[in-house]
Amino acid sequence: QYLPKTDELGTCYRAVFYIGYCPLLLLITTETTMKVTVIGLGAMGGGMARSLIRSNTISELSGFDLSTQLVQSFYDEAHAAGKSTPSLSSVLTVENFVDETTDVVLIVLVNEAQCQSVCDKLLSIMREGSCVVVSSTVSAAWSKSAEAKFSERNIQFCDCPISGGSVRALNGEITIMASGEPKSLEYIDPILQAMGKEIHVIQ
């Protein structure tokens, strides 16, 4: 007799096999992996992206920036870790670094205008159920507006401002103030844990 059971997260599977009168318990664990793109590879974004290379949750990681040097450098590091995309596009556009298979896009840009420009593109690229995480300085009004637009397309959105400096970003020790729907915060929690030492959920 075979009795399968699955836990709430769907990541741990238990099966009991009965051989005669002797039950044999087998525990098989699987780990959910994500495809992530970091947009903005400056002092903070570059460090945060590199902290994600060390995360077992991420199977494929890419970094987008308008600087060819920054993009190439990060690609080389991700490739060395076995987590880069199969190839690196020579054309630096958001569309060449994000597609419908991307699970999470992390935006670490300088200002609201840059975030708006990127988000306008992501609205037509990302699939339902994926998630956009903004770790830039934006107003509460802008964040609410962006969340509403993504929600219309069933794309998750989290506003996660950060502090701590570039060294802590590289070491995965920044402070993150995370806000969003509970299911969205749960979805991106492995990413937040990889980047931050202190994570504060803002209701």
pLDDT of 10 above 80: no
DSSP 8-state symbol, 70: H
pLDDT of 18 above 70: no
State the virtual CA torsion across 66, 130, 172, 49 in degrees, nearest 10.
-20
Q: Above pLDDT 70, what percent of the chain?
A: 84
pLDDT of 1 above 60: no
pLDDT range class, residue 14, cuts 50, 70, 90: very low
pLDDT value at residue 32: 67
The residue type of 160 is C
Q: What is the pTM of this model?
A: 0.84
**Angstrom distance (rounded) from CA 99 to CA 60:** 13
CB 94 within 8 A of CB 65: no
pLDDT of 164 above 70: yes
**Angstrom distance (rounded) from CA 195 to CA 47:** 9
Q: Please state the rounded mean pLDDT for residues 113-132.
A: 98
**Angstrom distance (rounded) from CA 37 to CA 19:** 48
DSSP 8-state symbol, 127: P
CB 31 within 8 A of CB 11: yes
Q: Please state the rounded mean pLDDT for residues 10-23.
A: 38
Over the chain, what is the mean pLDDT?
A: 88
3-class DSSP state of 85: coil
pLDDT value at residue 31: 56
pLDDT of 203 above 50: yes
Q: Please state the rounded mean pLDDT for residues 7-20.
A: 37
**Angstrom distance (rounded) from CA 72 to CA 66:** 11
